[in-house]
A = this chain, B = another copy of it.
Amino acid sequence: MKLGFIGTGRMGGAMVGRLLAAKHDVGVYNRTAEKVKPLADAGAKIVGSIADAARYGEVIYTMLADDTALEDVVFRQGLLDALPKGGIHVCAGTHGIPVIRKIKEVHAAKGHALIAAPMMGRPELVVAGTAGVFASGPAAAMAKCKPLFDALGRKTFEGGTDPEAATAMKIANNFVLGCAMEAMGEGFALTRKYGVDTSVFYDVMTDGLFNCSAYKVYGKIMVDESYAKVGQMATLGLKDANLALEAGFLAAVPLPSGNVWRDRLVGAVAHGDGNKDWAVMALEQARASGLA
């Protein structure tokens, strides 16, 4: 399939690599042409503008860092106007419900389809072909894009015909993770006060009910207190928490565990740990318990 791709950072670059490997024809754009040289070497076409990318094929894929960048690309840099009638915008990246809702409406008014298709997993997993894809949007557009999703990940989680569904799944998955991390932090603080070594309670959890990556990966960071080696910064975790609570607000869903998660990260920021790994929640919980 012929498609344009905007947003060729680490994650976007890995995605383009997968699409090229699956023999798709990908037109990429970057303000600094040099930056997409490796993708060009791998077979991508370089186009001269966002509008050109939007006109390159039947689909325009965006993988942007945040809502501001997405709105900028869609409204101010020409994606919306350049995309032909009948075109499909597939929006990867973790965005909030409001921006997806807004873009869905403007695309609909132009005769476009919007699919939200955020990724599950880090860039390394995308490269390895073990990432997942959340996806939802109008049925015909979804059918057309299926080969792209198949190229990008090992599995696609389809949420139906509204792009808000995939957005919500991505947000909720992060939410369940954040809450699990918060509960782990509380469990560590509680058992420490009763003299239990963190590595022992880590074994309890991961050997038994919680023998899965969420608990193993983040529990390990908490045991090692290796918060300085940052996977995702606490401030970005807080952004995810805010997205979840906003989504809950808009859909009238109280998320009390989400409040706890968010407040722990707010506390971490208050104590100067905002740029540590977000597992620093466990340190902040320890601090709240008089342990740090």
Contacts and interface: CB of A to CB of B under 8 A. Distances in A.
A75 interface: no
A288 interface: yes
Contacts of A134: 204
B254 A257 contact: no
* Copy total for this chain: 4
A26 to B, nearest CB: 26
Nearest to A258: B186
A226 B173 CA distance: 23
Contacts of A171: 190
A148 interface: no
A242 B242 CA distance: 11
A176 B184 contact: yes
A245 B68 CA distance: 21
Interface in A159-185: 159-162, 164-165, 167-169, 171-173, 175-177, 179-180, 182-184
B201 A210 contact: no
A194 B168 contact: yes
Interface residues of A, number: 82
Interface stretch (A3-11, A79-87, A88-96, A260-268): A260-268
A108 to B, nearest CB: 16
Main secondary structure of the interface of A (DSSP, over half): helix
Contacts of A159: 191, 194-197, 200
Nearest to A132: B208
Contact of A175 (B97, B183, B213): B183
B257 A259 contact: no
Interface string A186-220: 11011101111100110111011111111100000
18 contacts: A159-B196, A160-B195, A169-B194, A172-B190, A172-B204, A173-B204, A190-B251, A193-B251, A211-B213, A249-B266, A252-B267, A253-B270, A254-B266, A254-B288, A255-B263, A256-B256, A257-B257, A259-B260
